[in-house]
Chain A
Amino acid sequence: MVFLKRQLPLLICFVIGTVTALQYYVPTNFSAEMSEGLSNWYIIVSMFAALLGFVSVGMVHTKKIQRQEPGWAYSTLVILGFLAMVIVGFVSGGKETTPDGRPSSYGWLYNCTLVPLQATMFAILGFYVASAAFRSFRAKSFDAGVLLATAVIVLLGNVPFTNQVWAGWLGIHDVAGVKIEMTDIVSWLIGTPNAAARRGVTFGVALGAIATSLKIIFGIERAYLGGGD
């Protein structure tokens, strides 16, 4: 039993992990077929993994409704939204448009609910960015000052009209062939010091990710198994 609960998962992980990693170096057709098969399996398993998340959200909300916890009425909306989408989805056969090119009821519901809800959720942040710009972005230290200065240059440079003033009216174009229009300055900032810093971060993150993957494959890191025996 302990074997089934603890060792077998580690063994499965080890075998699948090594086979997949080695597949990168082994081009033969056997390896290619294996890679195709495994990726296809993974896609199908992903479907159930998504389901796992849905079921747990569903359970949280049904529990809330059953126990009539505070705010349980909102939970009924989750269930309602879900049912509405699923019903129109099956009625439309999963197609977004009817054969004549008009939106099906599934496509219609998507366009008038999911699109505005999701888009607005992040549009709200525009306002908070503005208020934070005023209330919290402080050059408290030299480092924060550098951050703010870069941000302001990028903000100004991202507006085409700044370049109109800079290049069009002030006539600043280049120094001996080195372009210094506002667009070029922003491109340089992003393409050079920014890319360098990002790359430095990438190295560390990538090494960390590789180390974690290795530890998982070789069964040293077992957090994913969860607690218990």
Chain B
Amino acid sequence: MEPFFRKLLAMDRRWIFLCLGVAVIFPTFFKLNLPGLKASPNVQAVYDLVENMPEGSKVLVSFDFDPASKPELAPQATAVLRHLFRKKHKVVAMGLWVTGVTMAKDIVSRTAAEANAKYGEDYVYLGWKPGNFAVIENMAADIHNCFPKDNDGKETASLPMMKGIRKLSEFDLVVSLAAGSPGIDTWIAYGSDKYHFKMTGGTTAVNVASMAQYVQAGQMTGLIGAMRGAAEYEMLINQKGDAAAGMDAISLGHYLIVALVVLGNVAYFVTRGSKGGA
């Protein structure tokens, strides 16, 4: 056994790359449709929140991510926006990450078009401003002043929907879809804990563990975690999207990695006794 494991450990890592590549690519050609997806309590909480707000509530969606986390957060954004438009809420979208501006615009206009939402009346896309927390601080004072024009250069004050929205605290809900900082933690510290509005959001898998404390302390309601959270949300709104389609590939990848961890440790313990390092 031992020589085998020794050989295994010395194997070129590019073989592992190949295995993972196959595990991820395979399900994109042959759909497995693995069952078992269930909404976790945190995703359910976000869904309930949006579902139970009265029609026409004012919602701010902040795109705090860039193309690097697109596969995780874009499906979340799409699902949440579809839900918001379906419930006829008034959506104001913006972002704190500069390289996400164009991508966010694309997602917003695509979901709005699906729901026949009208620009300026049902939704607005304000774009981006530099300054992270200062943007939140500035919006708390006056959104029209912070964003004198929307992303396409139209006067913000001239958009009918924005007439009734001047301050951050006037929003019924703020959703931050964040891949890091500035993101949910910034919105909580400089926004909701200070100016008191309802806060929820979604984040990448890497950050889920760090955001749990805010959910536990009630500083935000619910949390959509990663692509799986997006798939759960898609299931709740009954409209499958990119995340649901990706779960198969991700699942195989997960099992492969668990197997690798176990195999690696077995090899480690078997070969450890005898002399000679890796």
Contacts of B228 in A (CB 8 A): 158, 160
B257: interface (CB < 8 Å): yes
A114: interface (CB < 8 Å): yes
A39 x B131 contact (CB < 8 A): yes
* Assembly CA distance A165 to B36 (angstroms): 8
Those of A173-217 within 8 Å (CB) of chain B? 181, 183-184, 186-187, 190-192, 194-195, 198-199, 202
B102 x A40 contact (CB < 8 A): no
The contact of B36 among A136, A139, A161, A199, by CB within 8 Å, is A161
B178: interface (CB < 8 Å): no
B99: interface (CB < 8 Å): yes
B36 x A133 contact (CB < 8 A): no
| Contact A119-B36, Cβ < 8 Å, known A156-B258, A195-B212 | no
B16 x A161 contact (CB < 8 A): no
Contacts of A39 in B (CB 8 A): 131, 134-135, 137-138, 141, 146
Q: Mark A113-152, 1 if CB is under 8 A from B, else 0.
A: 0111011011000110111011111110000000010011
* Assembly CA distance A220 to B34 (angstroms): 59
A191 x B256 contact (CB < 8 A): no
A3: interface (CB < 8 Å): no
Contacts of A49 in B (CB 8 A): 130
Q: Would you call the interface of chain B mostly helix, strand, loop, or mixed? A: helix
The contact of A181 among B38, B70, B152, B258, by CB within 8 Å, is B38
Contacts of B138 in A (CB 8 A): 36, 39-40, 43
The contact of A161 among B13, B17, B34, B102, by CB within 8 Å, is B34
B37 x A160 contact (CB < 8 A): yes
For chain A, the bracket of interface size reads 35 or more
Contacts of A163 in B (CB 8 A): 36, 38
B103: interface (CB < 8 Å): yes
A111 x B129 contact (CB < 8 A): no
B213 x A35 contact (CB < 8 A): no
Contacts of B116 in A (CB 8 A): none
- Which of A62-70, A76-84, A94-102 lies at the interface with chain B? A94-102
The contact of A96 among B16, B41, B42, B102, by CB within 8 Å, is B102
A2: interface (CB < 8 Å): no
The contact of B70 among A119, A151, A187, A194, by CB within 8 Å, is A119
Contacts of A42 in B (CB 8 A): 131, 134, 137
* Assembly CA distance A46 to B66 (angstroms): 19
Given A130-B253, A186-B40, 8 more pairs with CB closer than 8 A? A39-B141, A43-B135, A115-B103, A130-B17, A130-B20, A134-B261, A160-B231, A195-B213
Residues of B within 8 A of A (CB): 9, 13, 16-17, 19-21, 24, 34-38, 40-42, 66-71, 99, 101-103, 105-106, 109, 129-132, 134-135, 137-138, 141-142, 145-146, 151-153, 194, 208-210, 212-213, 215-216, 228, 231, 247, 250-251, 253-258, 260-265, 268, 278
